[in-house]
Amino acid sequence: MSILEKDLTVKKATREAFGDEIVKLGKENKNIYVIDVDIAKSCKTVNFIKQLPDQHINVGIAEQNAAGLAAGLATTGKIPFVSTYAVFGSLRMLEQIRQEVCYPNLNVKIACSHGGLTPANDGGSHQAIEDMGVLRSVPNMTVIMGADYYSTRKLVEQAAKVYGPVYLRFTRDTVPIIYDENEEFTIGKAKKIKDGSDIAIIANGDTVRLALEATKELEKQGISVKLLDMHTIKPLDREAVVDCLNIGKIITVEDHNILNGLGSAVCEVVAEEGKGTVRRIGVQDQFGQSAPYEKLLELNGITTENIIKTAKELI
Amino acid sequence: MNEVTKMKEISIEELKEKAIQLRKTALTMIYGAQSGHPGGSLSAADIMAALYFKEMNVDPHNPNWEDRDRFVLSKGHVCPIQYSALALRGFVPYETIYTLREYGSPFQGHPDMKKCKGIDISTGSLGQGLSCGVGMAIAGKRDFKDYRVFALVGDGECQEGQIWEAAQTAVKYQLDNLVVFVDNNRLQIDGFCDEIMPLQDLEKKFDAFGFETKRINGHSMEEIVETLDEVKVAKNGRPKCIICDTVKGKGVSFMEDVADWHGVAPNEEQYHQAMEEVAGGLR
């Protein structure tokens, strides 16, 4: 069955995918560690703590320490996953990640729930709109956000198996399950959901669902859409972007500032290739505020309707 | 392995001689590069001599030996003194010391574990190294290894909050395999710590956090060695902290207690005078 025909009413948050996968990985490999910073419940590592206490460390509310501690563990062959919220995992710990994880290129994973605008009613202070961009600019770091439960599980599994620093971002809210359980994903390789010839839509994370809805509608209206899930924004699948340049018209969609995230990464490739047009849909370089998630998306034009409208304007 | 055991039999007098060699080597590196941090290198020299030539189980021929003791230079800017120890201990060829801070050198301006053999963790941003040491010590405990982790932090560095985050974690996880040295030389770049940001009583602070804390003269080889012997037998679930009262620039008359020698290289005349003075040993 094509993803386009899939029932999207079955939903699960991708932080659940992390929580489930990390237990499986921890059982398989005793070197997998989880470092919590007092928010194990919301980051879904509670089962890991119960089942694998010897591979767990809780440092309390001390994120900077968590990053350095993870680096120290990694020098002894452990594979630590620091589990926190995206704002803290990318910003509070940033210098520690840069100095002690990325500079010596240690095998540390930063696994972050509450990505993007999803901590909606918590307000702007808790919404991570610049995390992927910030970490994208640190050498040696890989930056990933899966679109649904199953893809996230596969990406977490891969992150544990590739050597080096990886930043993984998850959603707080539930998102539709769009992939089959056995679908394969490769870090750094875009998932082509659908081929098309009139316009290319490149999305990541929970906005893939919006792009999917927009694609269905556009196809109904006779517009042929190529849809990519760009779960890894660094290293970016350059080849997949170049492949869109045959169409030449690209829309990027992300729950992240339009600066320095997926949209910027795609623009870099398009500009370097010297052809093609990009429209970026994402957070409009503004802080969020307390509001329902859907409202915040709407305020930034991160909606199916806006994707459809932008596509029609671009064609 | 012979070298590992041989080093343990070294006498106090021989260790004092090693400290002189460390001071001379560090000064030569910094003079050669015309860049680097002499003040804190000299204040830490005696501690480093005791660690690298007596206390730590390390193997220059197998720097990544998994059962080795680990060393974390949290105050990464004083790396010339660690590089001197690594060169004199045979981790890296002695003649390469003249490449300090040069392109492609193992001796980067701050320690880089990917470039220099014997560096257990890259450091350079203050306040962060101790957390790494805590991570290593937790791994040692969980893996039932006997290795210990030694961390050297500056007193000024203790102004960083992360030091205390790391300290509380060390106590929570009962890391009696962790020994923290505070190079308490009372100076930081802008002047005396007491003027810039008073640290109060560091001994009481670490003690209040739950460390087993001792305060010694950081230039007395006898005291350093004696204290290391004491903490070695104390497998009591408590991390150790040794506050070492030191003098920044120790051994060079015109550098002693002068904040301006934090990160400045000596000129030719100053270098020769400094070499003569440190060759005479500590007063």
Exposure string for B17-35, b = 16+ CB within 10 A, e = fewer: bbbbbbbbbbbbbbbbbee
For B17-62, how does the pLDDT look when each residue is reduced to its tens digit (9 = 90+)?
999 999 999 999 999 999 999 999 999 999 999 999 999 999 999 9
Segment A272-297, tens digit of pLDDT? 999 999 999 999 999 999 999 999 99
At A23-82, the pLDDT tens digits run 999 999 999 999 999 999 999 999 999 999 999 999 999 999 999 999 999 999 999 999
Q: Of these residues, A5, A16, A21, A63, which one is catalytic?
A: A63
Task: Please tell me the distance in Å from A212's CA to the nearest CA on chain B.
Answer: 43
Check CB contact of B112 with chain A, cutoff 8 Å: yes
Q: Above 80 in pLDDT, residue A108?
A: yes
Show residues of chain A in contact with B150, CB under 8 Å.
none
Closest residue of chain A to B141, computed from CA coordinates: A54
Residue B69 touches chain A, beta carbons under 8 Å: no
User: Out of A55, A72, A95, whose CB is closest to B121?
Assistant: A72
Q: How far is B256 from chain A, CA to nearest CA, in Å? A: 31
Q: Are strands A79-85 and A32-36 parallel, antiparallel or unpaired?
A: parallel
Pairwise CB contact (< 8 Å): B165 & A99: no
| pTM assigned to the model | 0.96
| ∠ Cα A215 A219 A222 (to 5°) | 145
- pLDDT of amino acid B281: 87
In angstroms, the CA B86 to CA B112 distance is 13
The H or E element containing residue A155 is helix A149-161
Q: Pseudo-torsion of CA A34, A37, A40, A46, nearest 10°? A: 40
**A63 catalytic residue (yes or no):** yes
In chain A, residues with a C-beta closer than 8 Å to the C-beta of B69 are none
CA of B230, closest CA in chain A: separation in Å?
Answer: 26
At B186-199, the pLDDT tens digits run 999 999 999 999 99
Q: What's chain B's length in residues?
A: 283
Cβ of B162 within 8 Å of Cβ of A68? The answer is yes
**Maximal C-alpha separation, chain B:** 53
Q: Is the pLDDT of residue A5 over 60?
A: yes
Q: Chain B within 8 Å of A103 (Cβ-Cβ)?
A: yes
Q: Which residues contact A111 (CB under 8 A, 6 or more apart)?
A: A18, A22, A43, A81, A82, A83, A84, A89, A156, A168, A170
pLDDT at B6: 58
The confidence score (pLDDT) of residue B5 equals 46
* Tens-digit pLDDT profile for residues B92-121: 999 999 999 999 999 999 999 999 999 999
**What residue has token string 């503004």?**
A286
The dihedral region occupied by B157, where left means phi > 0, alpha psi between -120 and 50, and beta the remainder, is alpha
A56 and B CB contact within 8 Å: no
Kindly tell me if the per-residue pLDDT of B1 is higher than 70: no
Residues of chain A positioned with their CB less than 8 A from the CB of B162: 62, 64-65, 68, 96
Predicted pLDDT at B9 = 87
